[in-house]
Amino acid sequence: MAKLLRFGIVGSVGFLVDAGILALLLGFTPLGPFISRAIAIALAMMATWYLNRRFTFGASRHSIVREGFRYGSVGLTSALVNYLVYSALLILFPTLQPLAALVVSSTAAMAFSFFGYSRFVFRR
């Protein structure tokens, strides 16, 4: 349970990094929302990788390059799970509020990513 709590804290920090970088890029560069978002996601993923490696799970037995690739793979797949669950909920239940779908899809993605990171990336 302690790992899940630490994972949630790291995820919150990742969200703040993501939102902060996005806001800075949108406010101070001509990059636009799509390129800015890609950069923000990449930097947030690097931040959560570092924090999860140090604070939540510890380093894996793999090289840092292999661990980073695995982390990115789980992170991208988790984002896809989040979006697909969100979309499916809104299509299947048209009266469902988008924020409710966001909560459910984010919870599903968090469970998926915790399992993926703990079993596939940081397994010892």
Co-location of 25 and 82 in the same domain: no
| Cα–Cα dist 77/90, whole Å | 20
Decide if 82 contacts 105 (C-beta within 8 A): yes
**What is the arithmetic mean of pLDDT over 78-94?**
91
pTM, to two decimals: 0.76
Number of domains observed in the structure of the chain: 2
Confidence of residue 68 (pLDDT cuts 50, 70, 90): confident
Co-location of 72 and 118 in the same domain: yes
Co-location of 52 and 68 in the same domain: no
| Cα–Cα dist 32/58, whole Å | 36
- pLDDT tens, position by position, 12-50: 998 889 889 989 999 999 998 888 888 888 898 899 999
In the predicted structure, residue 60 carries a pLDDT above the cut 90: no
Encoding tokens for residue 11?
């995820």
In the predicted structure, residue 124 carries a pLDDT above the cut 80: no
What's the full length of the chain, in residues?
124
Co-location of 52 and 88 in the same domain: no
Confidence of residue 122 (pLDDT cuts 50, 70, 90): confident
Co-location of 64 and 9 in the same domain: no
Co-location of 35 and 4 in the same domain: yes
